[in-house]
Amino acid sequence: MKAQRPLAGQTALITGGSRGIGLAIARKLGEMGARLALCARDTKRLEQADAELRQAGYETLAVAADISQTKEVADLVRRVNEVLGEIDILVNNAGVGIFAPLHELPEDDWDRVINTNLKGVYLCSRAVAPQMIRRGSGQIINISSLAGKNAFAKGGVYCASKWGLQGLTACLAEDLRGYGIRVSTVCPGSVATEFSPHAGKDFTKMLQAEDVAHVVGMLVTQAAQSFVSDVEMRPTQKP
């Protein structure tokens, strides 16, 4: 039974868990036995995802929250602790993408991307780390992107957020590894979701949300003495 459900008894919090990669990760961790806490800003989509996971037999909690807001993150973590227990796995998946030449990008759009993709990871990790430190175990997985390593036109703010996330994750890993806590990034290329239009690409050749979820499942079942710090993902064939 333990081999079939290696995460039995553990609680996983997945931000941006109402659709796409986040929902696929929730399904995967649920299959592995974890209790699932989902957060997102879209209440309707969140309720739909929660209902789907409950119907599949998973223990879930859905909390609408904006992870760029300190109080909402604190309330989210408190609610998860009360209902499902302390958080063993944090998947920082929530993200937004706005693409435009930097000289044409409104300041509000800059703030929205940076506050969600980078500040949100800081706030969630900061809120969860103390309980992991106290227990001497835990896993934080940040869903980044190959855009955190490669530049492209109109990607200024998105790339800045993901390059920043790479640095943040690497430093956080050094801060926490002595406490038995593993911090990793997953960097997919284009994934076939509604996140961005992917005009002209063949969706059948693109990475799928389930591919990213598979990697997350691998990361949370490593042997205790090791951790994979960074995973790059690409499709077998260019779409």
Count CB-CB contacts under 10 A for residue 29. 25
CA nearest to 10, candidates 76, 91, 74, 93: 91
Name residue 133's amino acid: I
Answer yes or no: is pLDDT of 17 > 60: yes
Answer yes or no: is pLDDT of 200 > 80: no
And the tokens for 20?
């796409």
pLDDT confidence of residue 2: 56
Q: Is the pTM of this model over 0.85?
A: yes
Answer yes or no: is pLDDT of 10 > 60: yes
Answer yes or no: is pLDDT of 163 > 80: yes
158 given a catalytic annotation: yes
- What are the structural domains of the chain? 11-233 (3.40.50.720)
**183-203 average pLDDT score:** 80
pLDDT confidence of residue 114: 98
- Catalytic residue (one of 58, 122, 158, 179): 158
- The mean pLDDT value of the chain amounts to 94
